Amino acid sequence: MKKAILILFIFTLWLLLTWNASWQSLVAGGVTALMVGLIFGNLAVTAPMKVIQPQRWFWLLLYIPIFIWEMAKANFDVAYRVLHPKMPIHPGIVKVKTRLKSPLGIAFLANSITLTPGTFTIDLKDEYLYIHCINVRHQKLDEATKDIVSRFEKLLIKIFD
């Protein structure tokens, strides 16, 4: 099961990257995917049952446009701060708490935070994330969590936990 998922993933990636349906290409990709999948399947895929639940894929599809919208907003925000002659920044490192449990979910959360409005993740300790903000609005743990994390967390819990 785990191995089949990884083999399928690698083979799809191969097809997309080569974009070539000749039989030599298919055989080379198939053999490579088979070997890599058989060796690393148990390491790379930790929760095979989550992969085949369709509602998780639905929420992932919903997550992508939200993420792109937030990322575009973030970029205009940072661009404004770069171009402003006085540089209106109030940087600082705040601590927030996450309710996510799965490692992949936390990784996605940290990456999403890094790519969105004026914040990026510095470190993770247990369930606390340390976040550098370019413009600190809330210093308390609860308020900062509500401001920074909750937007993505609601969806990421449905996807990964």
Query: Count of residues binding other proteins (CB under 8 A)?
Result: 39
Which residue in 75, 142, 143, 154 binds other proteins (CB under 8 A)? 75
Stretch that binds other proteins, among 3-11, 33-41, 49-57, 111-119 (CB under 8 A): 111-119
Q: Give which of 149, 46, 47, 60 is closest to 99, Cα–Cα.
A: 149
Decide: is 79 part of the binding site for other proteins (CB under 8 A): yes
Q: Does 29 bind other proteins (CB under 8 A)?
A: no
43 near other proteins, rule: CB under 8 A: no
Closest CB to other proteins among 53 and 139? 139
The nearest distance, CB 156 to other proteins, in angstroms, is: 15
- Listed in sequence order, the residues at least 6 apart from 110 whose beta carbon sits closer than 8 Å to its beta carbon are 121, 124, 129
**Which pairs from 61-66 meet CB under 8 Å and 24+ separation?**
62/155, 63/152, 63/155, 63/156, 63/159, 66/151, 66/152, 66/155
Dump the DSSP string for 91-146: -EEEEEE----SHHHHHHHHHHHHTSTTEEEEEEETTEEEEEESB----SHHHHII
Choice between 49 and 83, CB closer to other proteins: 83
Residue numbers at the binding site for other proteins (CB under 8 A) = 13, 16-20, 71-72, 74-75, 78-79, 81-83, 87, 89-95, 110-111, 114-115, 118, 120-123, 125, 128, 130, 132, 134, 136, 139
